[in-house]
Amino acid sequence: MFESKPPSSAGRKGWSLDTLLGRTAEPVAAPAPAAPAMVAARAEPAPANDLFFRIGGFLKAHPLDPTPVNYDLAYQYLGGHNSELVVAVEAAIARDGVLLANVAEEISDAAANQVSSELVEKLIDQAHQSMTLAASLVGQSRTDAKAYGSALDKGAGALDAGGESATRALGLMVELTRTMIDKTQNAERRLAEMGTQMESLQGDLAEAQAVAESDPLTGLANRRAFQSRLVRAMAQAQAEGTPLSVAFCDIDHFKKINDNFGHDTGDRILKMVADALTDGAGEDAFVGRFGGEEFLILFDGIMARRAAMRVDEIRDELSGRHLVSKTNGEPLGTVTFSAGIAQLLPGEADGDMLRRADEALYNAKNGGRNRVIIHGEE
């Protein structure tokens, strides 16, 4: 079924959905001879000036717009600075013959999220170290207090006995008390410092976590964050017997928008659609960007028919907008999207639910686009 998808989505589907949903990749022609040459050239260390020209050649060969994101991707790929990115780029070139713009965007997003994840792990490690130190300090204070109490008991016994030993015992008790006061004050100071550090780490961790789980362009939850939310929602729905629906949305003819008006305009369209989905889905829905021009909406506690009505209202409102370029006032026409809806089945896995939503989306695309279809009701 999926082999006959429209050309505008074929390359994207091969990258974003086949791996996640376990599809068998469609056979592709052997890569153009230029691709192995670029791979071989990347392995050779090069002076900065040479790398600069190779980056330009890489962008021109595929072709990719000379945006900062694409420059960074080419720099990391040709310089071998990110092994996972290199593997992803070479796999995409081997599959499609060239590095498609939407695939390059997804690889760059994944690399950015990987960096954010590493930062989160670093902050968690720092927080763990601070908590271990705090626990050690509290434990030492408890030991000092116990020793202090034992010494006081002995001193009290000596005082009760009277005589010269009582005088010495009193002096030792005073000295011991001063020492204990110093230790207590020092412990309080260190705990206060660690408390301040923990508050700062907590803020940094929350910020890094938000970055790691957010799509940098639209601000929506990214693929990883959406899937995490989906797994939790599915477990709750299965346990409580409540409905759960998911919508797979795809902007129609998005490649033509980029080709005709440029990627800056394409980015503004993506933000506009993201805002429309967020505003129209409702407070009980969770919206994420799956990648490229694809979006997902999770409807918790809502059946497929009601979810489809909400999505269709968004589609209808969006298709009624007549857009104009901000740079030159040129009419951009209208922007539409297609959507597929699936409702959770008993005992169903998250991958199966997404696959059914994608099948419904495929039928919506094949049926003429700019429409919403519920899986099983085509």
Residues acting as catalytic residues = 293
Give the chain's length: 378
Q: How far apart are CA 292 and CA 16, in angstroms?
A: 9
Measure the CA angle with vertex 361, ends 307 and 321; round to 5°: 70
Output the six-digit token pair for 358. 């994608």
Helix (H) or strand (E) holding 343: strand 337-343
Q: Tell me if residue 5 falls in helix, strand or coil.
A: coil
Question: At a CB cut-off of 8 Å and minimum separation 6, what does 144 contact?
Answer: 180, 183
The position carrying tokens 């013959």 is: 97
Q: How far apart are CA 68 and CA 55, in angstroms?
A: 12
Nearest to 354 by CA among 297, 281, 315: 297
Q: How far apart are CA 215 and CA 277, in angstroms?
A: 15
Question: At a CB cut-off of 8 Å and minimum separation 6, what does 257 contact?
Answer: 251, 265, 266, 269, 332, 335
Q: How far apart are CA 378 and CA 365, in angstroms?
A: 12
Give the number of other CB atoms < 10 A from CB of residue 178: 10
